Amino acid sequence: MKGKIFIVIIFILFSSCEKRGNEDYTILKFYSEAYEDTGNSIALGEDGYYLCGQLVDSLTGINPMKKVGVIKAGFDGNLIGEMKTFGNTEGSAAKIIVLEDGTIACTGYVLDNTLQKDIIVLHLNPDLSEIAPPRVYQSPGNQYGVDILEIPEGFLLLATTDVKREPSDLYTGNAAGKKDILLIRIGHDLEPLIPIPAVGFIGNDEGVAIKADLEGGYTVVGTTDRSEAAGQSGNNIIIVRLNSLGSTTQPRIIGGTKNETACDFEVLSDGFLITGNIGTTGMDQQGYIWKMPTNISEEPEFEHKIDIEPSLTIKTPYALKAMCRYKTNSFLLAGQYSTGLSARLLIFSVDASGTPVENRKKITGGTGTQVANDVVTDGSDNIITIGNNSYENNSMICFLKFRF
């Protein structure tokens, strides 16, 4: 950590699209030492927050390297510590979690000497010291970590691979360079356990999140470019049910609107609530929500656009990036409102039917482009997001904590 200086900017009572009449305890901070620092995931610990993403190493000379990085911040957002992978290896972290014993697990990717991606997993103490050396899982193609779960024997890792899979037929194979969903079971020592075949169809399939279900197995939600039913085209949503060993038991493709992409989901007592986006990244992108029953072979119980501007005829485009539970029976969604230099952090709440809750929306930001990449909440109903603030060639990690 020596030599690392973070620029920390604090704003109290900054602007929001909707405010309540009570006092605002908002904290907004930026962490950065150089350009292209990014924040991708946040987890709540006993004594603060753990953030992961990409940290630029300004100590590597004229061409600073982009490293897998982890930051620890206090409940006030003040920096406690940070670590980044060592050596001449670039990469980025995608997901961080706090384990039952208070230690930290994180996954993402590093680049090999051919500039292809390899999965990396970190297991850290609460002070960010290493429990074991970072483990890199090498492959002949591109593979990168997306999400990670704690399981009794260690971890279940959700990743993406573009390694050729044979035989190349509709359900059991894929061409080199096409994406598949990859699951890896690893022990507490980060050594691989039982091999699990990649999952996917001909074409591109990519998981965005994995969660334990209520039946002793796991569920992956993601995006596929395959269509199987009438009305489906472009990208659709793929749902994969897994048994306790991580093997596929029930895949399903849903979709019927235009260009659906998944961003996150929550496991419910009677199924799954899935969020994502429809449309392109241009002027027609909007958030979307699906409620799937536990038996995913059945039709969705509901699906619809999420209208965050019901009083407006012309809607501002927005994209969702993350989801979490909020209070008793509602959920938080986070992402980006508008596009380009008008893009702002977006956080709002929906009820169990996917309808936005009145006076539970915040749109905020300053100069440049802002996006919220992850969101969590605590027992005091504080909402904490992590994301990026970009302007010209500079990108800072953005930390936002507030209450509705």
- pLDDT of 226 reads 87
- pLDDT of 87 reads 74
Examine residue 167 and say whether the peptide bond preceding it is cis (omega within 30 degrees of 0): yes
- As given in the structure block, the two tokens for residue 294 are 């536990």
- pLDDT of 230 reads 65
Are 223 and 208 in contact by the 8 Å Cβ rule? The answer is yes
Residue reference for tokens 């992850």: 374
- pLDDT of 170 reads 57
On whether residue 20 sits in a domain, the answer given is no
Amino acid making up residue 207: G
Give me the tens of pLDDT residue by residue for the chain, a chain 404 residues long: 334 444 444 433 344 444 444 455 789 898 987 678 999 999 999 999 999 999 988 765 667 889 999 999 999 999 999 998 877 789 999 999 999 999 999 999 999 988 999 999 999 999 999 998 999 999 899 999 999 999 999 999 999 999 988 876 655 678 889 999 999 999 999 999 988 888 888 899 999 999 999 989 999 999 999 887 766 778 999 999 999 888 887 789 998 877 899 999 999 999 999 999 998 776 789 999 999 999 999 999 999 999 999 999 999 999 999 999 999 899 999 999 998 888 999 999 999 999 999 999 999 987 789 999 999 999 999 999 999 998 877 889 999 999 99
On whether residue 140 sits in a domain, the answer given is yes
Are 199 and 218 in contact by the 8 Å Cβ rule? The answer is no
On whether residue 133 sits in a domain, the answer given is yes
How far CA 236 is from CA of 49, 85, 205, 252, in Å, comes to 34, 35, 10, 10
On whether residue 9 sits in a domain, the answer given is no
- pLDDT of 232 reads 73
- pLDDT of 4 reads 45
State whether residue 60 is helix, strand or coil: helix
On whether residue 71 sits in a domain, the answer given is yes
Rounded to an integer, what distance in angstroms lies between the CA atom of residue 66 and that of residue 55? Answer: 6
How far CA 133 is from CA of 106, 129, 130, in Å, comes to 12, 10, 6
On whether residue 14 sits in a domain, the answer given is no
How far CA 139 is from CA of 155, 173, 206, 266, 307, in Å, comes to 19, 17, 17, 31, 43
| Pairing mode of beta strands 356-364, 38-44 | unpaired
Q: How many domains does the chain have?
A: 1
Range of the domain at 316: 27-402
Q: What is the CATH number of the domain that holds 342?
A: 2.130.10.10
On whether residue 10 sits in a domain, the answer given is no
Q: According to DSSP H, which parts of 132-250 are helical?
A: none
State whether residue 342 is helix, strand or coil: helix
On whether residue 7 sits in a domain, the answer given is no
Rounded to an integer, what distance in angstroms lies between the CA atom of residue 321 and that of residue 148? Answer: 17
Rounded to an integer, what distance in angstroms lies between the CA atom of residue 111 and that of residue 92? Answer: 9
- pLDDT of 283 reads 72
- pLDDT of 27 reads 92
Please report the DSSP string for 229-277 in residue order: STT--SSEEEEEEE-TTS-EEEEEEE--SSS-EEEEEEEETTEEEEEEE
